[in-house]
Amino acid sequence: MGCFGSKEEKAFGGKQVVKEITFTGGTCVEAASQYEKPVPPVVQAAGANDCSTLTQLFAKSENPKALAESRDSSGNDALLAAAAAEAESAISLLVTGDLSQYFNVNTKNRIENTPLHLVAKKDNLALVQLLIDAKAEKFTKNSFGKKPYDQATDADVKALLKDEHSTLQFL
């Protein structure tokens, strides 16, 4: 196979991966692209903080639990999408409101981030408190070994996330 516009296609788990090799200044450059599944409407609505659409989707669903388990290509469900977007109304609806029966406050995406990891990384004190009040686990590690505390930079957010059993005290 040469470097002059050759193209290779393979199917992997329902996705088509296209690998193109082009000639640029005497070297081969490889570029891969994937055709990923579309983002489920429930995940889109949560990320857009659209509580009306979320409520309608669940009201019309024959299987609300399956709807709640819908995920995007990164493994984010509606709650994770809402956390990533800091969508406070959607998060509240999904963890303390009418739809909370369908969602796990400690859900994880492909890299094992929880909603608490995502809002802690954004130093959103109100959302960290909301998730903790909804029984989010503060000490869950993601695939990089990081807890929500490790993701935060704001002192007030870190204070909410610290280990209350720690013997270290700062004077």
pLDDT per position as a tens digit, 133-169 = 999 999 999 999 999 999 999 999 999 999 764 444 4
Confidence (pTM)? 0.76
* Cα atoms in the 13 Å half-sphere on the side-chain side of 18: 9
Confidence of residue 33 (pLDDT cuts 50, 70, 90): very low
The CATH label, of 1.25.40.20, 3.30.70.580, 3.40.50.1820, 1.25.40.10, for the domain at 41-156 is 1.25.40.20
Each residue of 73-119: pLDDT tens digit? 999 999 999 999 999 999 999 999 999 999 999 999 999 999 999 99
* Structure tokens that stand for 117 in this block: 């990891």
Contact partners, residue 100, CB within 8 Å, separation at least 6: 93, 94, 134
The reported pLDDT for the residue numbered 152 is 98
Over 80: is that where the pLDDT of 1 sits? no
pLDDT of residue 120: 98
Question: Token pair for residue 31?
Answer: 């570029």
Q: How far is it, in rounded angstroms, from Cα 126 to Cα 110?
A: 25
Q: What is the pLDDT of residue 3?
A: 40
Sequence spans of domains, the chain: 1-35, 41-156
Residue 113, C-beta contacts closer than 8 angstroms, at least 6 positions apart:
80, 142
Q: Kindly indicate the confidence band of residue 5, based on its pLDDT and cuts at 50, 70 and 90.
A: very low
pLDDT of residue 163: 72
Confidence at residue 164, expressed as pLDDT on a 0 to 100 scale: 63
Q: Beta strands 6-12 and 15-24: pairing type?
A: antiparallel
Q: Once rounded to an integer, what is the mean pLDDT over residues 64-72? A: 97
Name the average pLDDT for the chain. 83
The answer on pLDDT for 20 being more than 60 is no
